[in-house]
Amino acid sequence: MDTLDGMRTFLAVARQKSFTGGAKQLGISTKLASKYVAQLETKHAALLFHRTTRSVTLTDMGRAYFELCVPLLEQFDELEDVIQHRQASLSGTVRLTAPTAFGSTKLVGALAPFLKLHPNMSVELNLSDQHVAIIDEGVDVAIRFGQLQDSTLIAKKLMNMRIVVFASPDYLARHGNPGHPSALATHNCLMQKSQVDPENWRFKVDGKLVVVNVHGAFASNSPRAVTQMASQGLGIGMGPKYVTEPYLKDGSLQLLFEDYEANELMLNAVYASNRHLPVRIRALLEHLAATFAES
C-alpha cells in the first residue's frame, strides 16, 4: 500500500463515516478501502476507527491523525499543482455539488467547454436540492444560491439571477391577469419552500419595498416543480428566471410584474476556508466566473 493512498482512503472513510461511502467516493471497492485503512493502522500501531455493524467513528487518535492528514495531503496536491502549472496542463478530479435544475442545465453547459479544453481533467457532479455539508462529504466546491451562512466557508460570486413571477396564459385567461402585486392575495400562488420566506413575496413599487402575503394549493422545495406546475395552469409561481426559460420560449409561461421585480438571487461557488485550492479548482472557478459573468 502506498502511504498516500492509505491517507486518502482514511480521509474519505472518516468524512463519509462509512467504508462503503468512502470507497465509493474514491472509486475503489469496500474491501480495498478496509484493507488500506487496516494497513495504515498496522503501520502506525494505532486504532483509527471504532467499528460496529452500524457505524464507523474516529478514535481520539483517529481525530488527531485526521487533523494532520488534511494539510499534508493538501501540500502534496500543491506540489503536484506546481508541476502541472509549469507543464501548462491541468489534471485530476474536481468534486462539485449543485441544485438539480441549475446543475443539469446551466452548470453542465458551462462545464462542457472547460473539460474539452482540459482533457486530463474530470468532474464529479452531485445534483441535490438538499444542503450538502461539503467538508463532511468531501466536496471541493458547492454551487449555491443566496447569501453565505457558514463562516467556515468562502464564497466566490459568479452572478446575480433574476427572481421572476410567472403564470400560464391558460391560468390568466381563467382567473384574470393581476395588474398589481397586491392582487396576488386573491390568486392561487405556488410556493417554493427553499426560499427564505416563501409565503411573502417582495416587490418594488414606486421605489419602495412592498411585501405581499400569498397562499396556494401547492408548495415544493424544487423550483423546477413549481415552474412545471405553473405551466400546467394551476397557479402563479415565483422563482429563478433560468428555470422558466424553456417555458417562456414555448409560450407555456409568461412573466408578470417585470417592472416591479425586487429580488435577485446571488449565485456563489462555495468552498472550505481552511483548505488550499489546487490549481485545477482555481482554474475551474475562474472559468465559471467568466462564463456566468458573460451571461
Residue 231 — pLDDT band, cuts 50, 70, 90?
A: very high
Residue 262 — pLDDT band, cuts 50, 70, 90?
A: confident
Residue 108 — pLDDT band, cuts 50, 70, 90?
A: very high
Cα–Cα distances in Å, from 150 out to 103, 135, 266?
22, 12, 15
Compute the average pLDDT of residues 125-146.
Answer: 83
Compute the average pLDDT of residues 52-62.
Answer: 89
Instruction: Determine the Cα–Cα distance for residues 25 and 240; give it in Å rounded to an integer.
Output: 31
Per-residue confidence (pLDDT) for residue 219, from 0 to 100: 94
Instruction: State how beta strands 236-240 and 189-192 pair.
Output: parallel
Structural domains of the chain, with CATH: 3-85 (1.10.10.10), 89-159+266-294 (3.40.190.10), 161-263 (3.40.190.290)
Cα–Cα distances in Å, from 13 out to 7, 260, 262, 275?
10, 50, 45, 19
Per-residue confidence (pLDDT) for residue 126, from 0 to 100: 92
Instruction: Supply the pTM of this predicted model.
Output: 0.64
